[in-house]
């Protein structure tokens, strides 16, 4: 599956160095049929993506399409189960590649073929069309002359020591690949000194010889200023040596008359030059020694041509490998993004997580909500005998949380991820979640809800979750509507969980196949917080216990109004 993810990343041009998340067109048909359900799925994806380092990593989830095949879910589970939990801190050290290497030599590409000239210009190189011999003479000022498609002037060009003959346009200015590679030098070092996947290690090993070209140890080419500085040392050394010598008057007269140095003095001059490490040919052998600037210029040119041509030839010999650099770097980039995905998921998975299994029933035992800190383990189930739960209970008791927990587990099951606790689920194809309304109880809201309900695609693979749908209509008829709605969809073999405060009213008209479950508040703790067992008790009607809410507010805020309400409710009890 990892190679599949790498291909997905490459196909969609995703990058670990993208400054923001790349927008992808998502044509996946979601099992979530309402906006509220899709919002929970997005929340799950954000949670499991919390360890990712790069903006584009989260886009890899687009490769995990909703599926109806248990074999595909198992394949995903096997993949996630194979991930190694390693440190991923080094990924933060990776930076967007920026070229740091450029050749020290000036390159011009020459050709005598007009069609080749046009093609070369499209490459953005420095290009020159050779028309006559004078054009060849003008090339002497360049460090490297790359020659392609030049038959008529080839002999002239061969006389230039800086000429490098190229077989095809594809091999022109291969140094551009090294420039691109140089931007990865720091990242290459980071990846090499850390534990990474086998695929990344193999690719780094393949790239290493090309990185060695960037470390070219260029020979020392003398400069005019360096020679002038050395000349001072040479003459100083000669002066010191001559002071120690005894020169006869006759020898001195002969040197002045003939312009020739006595052998002993000439030996001193040559010894001083030799000790400098410079060539004797760039100096005039006299007292004092001077520089032959014409010879010095020629020698610098020869050294430069030799040095630059040597590197250019080595680049030319590595042509086939260098031309693969863009492809290899794109793969390395994709592998890094997939590495972030795999390590992020491996570090998100907890030790007590288990992979859910397929079942015709909806069941989870001791499952913890990943959205909550210090979450209680929750158990719940629906089966062929009770396909619908009328979920009752106290305010803030956890009815809404249970609905969202169910959606959360479905998303994790679809993605192939593990879950805390023991979980068995059908493969739902249509999931509807109607969250608690925050609007008015207007006729429009009520009609909108009924219209949405009418669009539900019922069947054995359909799950309907609704949170306090009585809020959009009058309390007197809400219980009957909920009962009738449950009865309709139970007959269509749907699974349902309906959270409501109207359990008492619904109990009188409870449809066959429905069960009333309750989440109850047991009292208040010493800080006047509700004591709630968030595990629903299956088959028991729970009360919303408003008196506990009033008691908490009376003890918390100490206001006359709350005290009056509390005293009144105590009298009624």
Report whether 529 contacts 517 (CB < 8 A): no
Report whether 338 contacts 6 (CB < 8 A): yes
Chain centre to alpha carbon of residue 59:
9
Q: For residues 406, 408, 410 and 415, what is the CA-based torsion angle, rounded to 10 degrees?
A: -170
Report whether 271 contacts 245 (CB < 8 A): no
Query: How far is it, in rounded angstroms, from Cα 170 to Cα 185?
Result: 25
Give 241-248's long-range contacts (Cβ < 8 A, gap of 24+).
Answer: 241/268, 241/271, 241/272, 242/268, 242/287
User: Which residue do the tokens 């919390």 mark?
Assistant: 50
Query: How far is it, in rounded angstroms, from Cα 299 to Cα 293?
Result: 10
pLDDT value of residue 469: 86
Query: How far is it, in rounded angstroms, from Cα 573 to Cα 565?
Result: 13
Longest dimension (CA), the chain: 142
Q: Crossing angle, helix 546-557 and helix 560-572, to 10 degrees?
A: 140
Give 263-270's long-range contacts (Cβ < 8 A, gap of 24+).
Answer: 268/238, 268/241, 268/242, 269/238
Torsion sign, CA atoms 47, 52, 53, 58:
negative
Structure tokens at 22: 């790349």
Task: Classify residue 353 as left (phi > 0), alpha (psi -120 to 50) or beta.
Answer: beta
Q: For residues 434, 438, 440 and 441, what is the CA-based torsion angle, rounded to 10 degrees?
A: 40
Q: Phi and psi dihedrals of 520, rounded to 5?
A: -110, 150
Identify which of 251, 511, 568, 225 has the alpha carbon closest to the alpha carbon of residue 385: 511
Q: Please state the length of the chain.
A: 573
Residue 557: count other Cβ atoms within 10 Å of its Cβ: 11
Report whether 275 contacts 284 (CB < 8 A): no
Identify which of 105, 103, 153, 104 has the alpha carbon closest to the alpha carbon of residue 128: 153
Query: How far is it, in rounded angstroms, from Cα 42 to Cα 20?
Result: 18
Residue 199: count other Cβ atoms within 10 Å of its Cβ: 17
**N-terminal to C-terminal alpha carbon distance within the chain:** 63
Domains and CATH numbers, the chain: 1-63+84-100+184-217+296-348 (no CATH), 101-182 (3.40.50), 224-277 (no CATH), 357-542 (3.40.50.300)
HSE (CB half, 13 Å, CA atoms) of 242? 19
Give CA angle at 434 (432, 438), nearest 5°: 160
User: Which residue do the tokens 């918390």 mark?
Assistant: 556
* Alpha-carbon separation of residue 463 from 222, 242, 386, 388, 428 (angstroms): 82, 107, 13, 10, 7
Query: How far is it, in rounded angstroms, from Cα 308 to Cα 105?
Result: 7
> pLDDT 10s digit of each residue in the chain, 573 long?
999 999 999 999 999 999 999 999 888 899 999 999 999 999 999 999 999 999 999 999 999 999 999 999 999 999 999 999 999 999 999 999 999 888 877 889 999 999 999 999 888 788 999 999 999 988 988 888 999 999 999 999 998 888 889 888 988 888 889 999 999 999 999 999 999 999 999 999 999 988 888 875 554 567 788 888 888 888 888 888 888 876 666 666 666 566 677 778 888 888 888 888 887 878 888 888 898 888 777 766 656 555 566 676 777 788 889 999 999 999 999 999 999 999 999 999 998 899 999 999 999 999 999 999 889 999 999 999 999 999 998 777 789 999 999 999 999 999 999 999 999 999 999 999 999 876 555 557 788 888 899 999 999 999 999 998 887 777 678 888 899 999 999 999 999 999 998 888 888 889 999 999 998 777 666 666 666 777 888 988 886 667 777 777 788 887 888 888 888 877 765
Chain centre to alpha carbon of residue 384:
45
pTM above 0.85, yes or no: no
Q: Is 39 exposed, middle or buried (CB count within 10 Å of its CB: 0-12, 13-18, 19+)? A: middle
Q: Phi and psi dihedrals of 296, rounded to 5?
A: -60, -45
Q: Where are the alpha helices (DSSP H) in 130-262?
A: 133-137, 154-158, 175-182, 185-192, 198-214, 224-243, 249-258
Identify the H or E element spanning 400. Answer: helix 399-415
Give CA angle at 428 (424, 433), nearest 5°: 105
3-class SS shares of the chain: helix, strand, coil, % to 5: 50, 15, 35
DSSP characters over 403-458: HHHHHHHHHHHHHT--EESEEEE---SEEEEEPPP-S---HHHHHHHHHHHHT---
Q: Is 376 exposed, middle or buried (CB count within 10 Å of its CB: 0-12, 13-18, 19+)? A: middle
Query: How far is it, in rounded angstroms, from Cα 549 to Cα 539?
Result: 24
Residue 335 in 3-state DSSP? helix
Structure tokens at 125: 């190189």
Q: Where are the alpha helices (DSSP H) in 244-324?
A: 249-258, 263-276, 293-317, 319-323
Residue 524: count other Cβ atoms within 10 Å of its Cβ: 15
User: Which residue do the tokens 């996946």 mark?
Assistant: 28
């Amino acid at each position: 599956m990892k190679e599949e993810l790498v291909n997905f990343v490459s196909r969609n041009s995703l990058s670990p160095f993208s400054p923001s998340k790349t927008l992808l067109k998502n044509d996946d048909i979601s099992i979530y049929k309402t906006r509220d359900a899709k919002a929970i799925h997005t929340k799950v994806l954000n949670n499991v993506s919390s360890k990712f380092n790069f903006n584009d990593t989260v886009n890899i989830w687009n490769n995990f399409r909703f599926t109806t095949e248990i074999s595909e879910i198992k394949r995903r589970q096997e993949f996630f189960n194979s991930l190694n939990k390693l440190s991923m801190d080094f990924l933060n050290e990776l930076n967007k590649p920026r070229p740091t290497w450029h050749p020290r030599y000036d390159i011009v590409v020459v050709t005598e073929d007009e069609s080749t000239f046009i093609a070369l210009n499209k490459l953005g190189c420095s290009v020159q069309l050779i028309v006559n011999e004078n054009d060849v003479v003008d090339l002497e000022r360049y460090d490297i002359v790359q020659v392609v498609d030049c038959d008529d002037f080839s002999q002239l060009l061969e006389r230039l020591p800086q000429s490098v003959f190229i077989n095809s346009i594809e091999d022109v200015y291969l140094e551009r690949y090294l420039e691109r590679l140089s931007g990865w030098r720091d990242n290459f070092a980071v990846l090499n000194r850390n534990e990474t996947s086998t695929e990344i290690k193999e690719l780094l090993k393949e790239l290493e010889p090309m990185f060695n070209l960037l470390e070219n140890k260029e020979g020392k080419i003398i400069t005019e200023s360096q020679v002038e500085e050395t000349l001072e040392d040479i003459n100083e050394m000669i002066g010191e040596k001559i002071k120690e010598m005894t020169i006869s008057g006759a020898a001195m007269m002969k040197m002045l008359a003939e312009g020739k140095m006595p052998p002993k003095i000439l030996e001193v001059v040559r010894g001083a030059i030799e000790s400098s490490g410079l060539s004797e040919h760039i100096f005039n052998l006299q007292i004092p020694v001077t520089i032959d600037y014409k010879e010095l210029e020629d020698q610098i040119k020869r050294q430069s041509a030799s040095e630059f041509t040597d590197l250019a030839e080595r680049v030319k010999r590595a042509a086939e490998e260098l031309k693969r650099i863009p492809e290899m770097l794109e793969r390395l980039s994709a592998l890094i993004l997939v590495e972030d995905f795999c390590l992020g998921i491996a570090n998100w998975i907890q030790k007590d997580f288990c992979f859910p299994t397929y079942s015709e029933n909806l069941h989870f035992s001791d499952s913890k909500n990943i959205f909550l800190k210090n979450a209680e383990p929750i158990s719940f189930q629906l089966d062929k005998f009770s396909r619908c739960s009328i979920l009752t209970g106290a305010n803030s008791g956890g009815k809404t949380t249970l609905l969202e927990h169910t959606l959360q587990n479905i998303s994790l099951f679809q993605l192939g991820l593990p879950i805390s606790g023991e979980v068995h689920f059908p493969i739902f194809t249509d999931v509807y979640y109607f969250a608690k309304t925050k609007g008015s109880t207007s006729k429009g809201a009520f009609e909108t809800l009924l219209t949405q309900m009418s669009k539900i695609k019922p069947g054995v693979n359909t799950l309907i979750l609704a949170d306090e749908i009585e809020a959009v209509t009058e309390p007197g008829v809400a219980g009957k509507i909920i009962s009738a709605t449950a009865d309709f969809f139970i007959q269509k073999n749907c699974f349902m969980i309906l959270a409501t405060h109207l359990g008492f009213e619904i109990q009188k008209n409870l449809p066959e196949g429905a069960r009333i479950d309750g989440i109850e508040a047991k009292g208040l703790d010493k800080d006047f917080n509700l004591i709630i067992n968030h595990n629903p008790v299956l088959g028991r009607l729970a009360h919303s216990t408003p008196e506990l809410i009033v008691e908490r507010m009376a003890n918390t805020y100490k206001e006359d109004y709350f005290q009056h309400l509390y005293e009144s409710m105590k009298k009624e009890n």
